[in-house]
Structure 1
Amino acid sequence: MPRMSFIETSRTCLTTKYATFSGRARRSEYWWYSVLYVVATAVIGGISWAAEAPLLSVLLLPFIVPMLSVSVRRLHDTGRTGWRILIALIPVAGPVLYLAGMAVDGVPGANQYGPSPKADD
């Protein structure tokens, strides 16, 4: 299976794998959804700020669960437990370690979290 496109990633993360915390996710799936998440946050946050309507930020809630689930699946692809997402809560160094973990290539072949998403390549 070739890299996931932005559209394919958005569709997958927001529908079929909305709250799927098992399995594995390729780097492209994680990073494309991260782009969507940042853009949605900027747009909705900007509109909310400009309209002076902080409740508009409630529109971001549907994007949070898929961000968490794709992050856990990405950690699974690298052979790490999903609980490792909590490392991002450590001040200063945590987010750096978290992003570095998301950037590494996945474990080739199957691991304890399932078959490699690159198996069809």
Structure 2
Amino acid sequence: MSLMFQPLRKYATFSGRARRKEYWLWQLFVALLYTALTIWLVSTLGPIPETATADEMMAQMNGAPAAMYPMIAIGLASLLLFLPSLAVTVRRIHDSGNSGWWILLGLTAVGGIVILVFALIDGTPGPNRYGADPKGRAAPAY
């Protein structure tokens, strides 16, 4: 459980390495938080007809001033969680022995797949140029 909040303790630390468990627990925390905030937003709006247009939904949001609070909370959460999310992703890429600049691939159409692969593969055993192995494994003997 402590790994889930490790990115908050290392708020903007881009150096070092992050285990897969730390990365995915952080992603789970962020997903649960945004799900809860979205449920709060939808519950303040009330029922929305399936055939409602974007203008009709905006009018309903303007008619529900209580919807302002969950929207502010979503905006603040996005601002506060941006740097820890970016930092834990860079540290996760470092765990595979690659430069954190690979994260810029996420700005392209297929780059998200590359970042997903980096997040899924196991890190290099033993220390690499970005730090000690977070799992505490020794370097392989060749």
Is it true that 1:36 corresponds to 2:54 in the alignment? no
- 1:30-87: CA deviation from partner (whole Å, max 9, x where unpaired): 0110111111122223323443323231231222211111111110000111111111
Is 1:116 aligned to residue 138 of structure 2? Answer: no
Which residue identity is paired with 2:100?
G
Deviates more, 1:56-65 or 1:17-26: 56-65
Which among 2, 10, 14 is matched to residue 8 of structure 2? 14
Most deviating of 39-48 and 20-29: 39-48
Residue 36 of structure 2: SS of its match in structure 1? helix
- What displacement does 1:13 show? 1.7
CA–CA distance in structure 1, aligned partners of residues 125 and 137 of structure 2: 12
Q: Could you tell me whether the CA contact under 8 Å between 1:48 and 1:57 is conserved in 2? A: no
Residue matched to 1:83? 101
Residue identity (%): 37
User: Is 1:23–2:16 an aligned residue pair?
Assistant: yes
**Large movers: runs of 4+ above 3 Å:** 48-51
**Cα distance, 1:18 vs structure 2:** 1.4
Give, in angstroms, the shift of residue 118 of structure 1.
1.4
Instruction: Tell me the equivalent position of 2:121.
Output: 104
Aligned length: 113
Q: 1:83 to 1:50 in 2, by over 3 A?
A: farther
Q: Which runs of 5+ in 1 are unaligned?
A: 1-6
Could you tell me the TM-score, scaled by structure 2's length?
A: 0.71
Asked if residue 73 in structure 1 is aligned to residue 106 in structure 2, the reply is: no
Task: Please name the residue that 2:112 is paired with.
Answer: 95
Paired with 2:11 and 2:120, the residues of 1 have a C-alpha distance of 22
User: Structure 1 residue 57 and structure 2 residue 78: aligned?
Assistant: no
Contact 1:44/1:59, CA 8 A, preserved across alignment: no
Unpaired segments of 5 or more residues in structure 2?
Answer: 45-66
